[in-house]
Homo-oligomer: A and B are copies of this chain.
Amino acid sequence: MAFSEFRPLDENSLIEYIKSVPALSAKIANNFDNLSVKEVGDGNLNFVFIVLNSAGSFVIKQALPYVRSIGESWAMTKERSYFEYLALKEKGRLSPEHVPEVYHFDRTMSLIGMRYLEPPHIILRKGLIAGIEYPLLAEHMADFMANTLFFTSLLFRTTSEHKRDVAEYCGNVEMCRLTEQVVFSDPYKVSQYNHWTSPYLDRDAEALREDNLLKLEALIHADLHTSSMMVTRESTQVIDPEFAFYGPMGYDIGAFLGNLILAYFSQDGHADQANDRKAYKEWILKTIEDTWNLFHHKFTALWDEHRNGAGEAYLPAIYNNPEIQLLVQKKYMTDLFHDSLGFGSAKMIRRIVGVAHVEDFESIADAAKRATCERRALDLAKMILKERRKFEGIAEIVSAIPKYDS
């Protein structure tokens, strides 16, 4: 018995659903007697159920036709689930160590069944708030980003493959519009959804809306932030690619780096007598630097390795000597670095004055203290967005960050 039309599931109807899907019921050995089903979605958009018994486990993620955090008044296509599924499959193929396996997809129900990332996996953002160091994080993320970005680019693929996928992901237009609105537009204008730590940041929010030079750098164009990652000390898993789209690579890289910078500036709000968080802040800075440097190394190594492949962006017959290969790679990586800085800083800004804030700051109960942390992050982000082309490397960014931290 499959479900012939869309209906939102609850913890009871979900069990009926699982019974109708062999790929799912097999995961729990067809045993429904001691099954635990728990709704745990704390994101902005969807419902997430953890299903487990002694035999096994999985997660069910269902998209509803509105934005969960706002309510039914903000309609949002449930077809986003299809694009999330497509992206999970593709990214999983390219970076299987860092993407949860998909067991089942039901387009009618806008529902994905996938691996349950068992404890001690927690959302990275929560780990950063708790001050936990992840020694492999930079390495894992550099690996994930280099593999998923390189192998979906024209550096590796033919024009035909690329255009086919570009056209398919154009179908995810509603999520693209949402991104454009909440990331690139709303923070720079008056919007009913904007909010900030008031009254402390009232003047700062107004200054954003009056900053011509900043607006001149604002960008017209997915979502790789620390809440869409689950981690343990040994494992890094990237989830939730429902905003997936063929957009600029710098968007993903910038989102990760920008969210690490937000975590950095929130640390003073979480410091206490037992832990001043100073050493942790140093670890975050090191992770920012390592991530970019390792990404740069892995990405250019992939490029070198596949230089004579089918990719149509830089044909080997044209870029046919070591000097031009070096020149073109340097130019490409510098442009990507500046793009990443631009996207990263725009994402920092929107998390402070836009619709969706981050737990890093929101969990600081004292509003005055929270506002102080937020203003530092905001001022740094504004500077980077305007001056990004002057930065020649990640070390300069890592040096600039502490200067804004007082």
Residues of A at the B interface (CB closer than 8 Å) are 154, 159-160, 163-164, 166-168, 170-171, 173-174, 176-177, 180, 185, 188-191, 209, 212, 215-216, 218, 220, 312-315, 317-321, 323-324, 327-328, 331
C-alpha spacing A319/B342, complex, angstroms: 19
B324 touches A216 (CB 8 A): yes
Q: Which residues of B contact A318 (CB under 8 A)?
A: 185, 188-189, 209, 215, 218
Q: 13 A-B pairs, CB-CB below 8 angstroms?
A: A154-B220, A159-B173, A160-B173, A164-B170, A167-B167, A180-B312, A185-B315, A189-B318, A189-B320, A212-B321, A212-B324, A215-B328, A216-B327
C-alpha spacing A194/B8, complex, angstroms: 61
Known: A323-B212, A328-B216. A159 touches B185 (CB 8 A): no
Of B170, B215, B220, the residue contacting A166 (CB under 8 A) is: B170
B164 touches A167 (CB 8 A): no
B188 touches A159 (CB 8 A): no
Known: A170-B164, A173-B164. A220 touches B321 (CB 8 A): no
Q: Which residues of B contact A163 (CB under 8 A)?
A: 170, 173, 176
C-alpha spacing A220/B314, complex, angstroms: 8
Minimum CB distance partner of A314 in chain B = B220
Q: Which residues of B contact A320 (CB under 8 A)?
A: 189
- Minimal beta-carbon separation of A299 from chain B (angstroms): 17
Q: Which residues of B contact A212 (CB under 8 A)?
A: 321, 323-324, 327
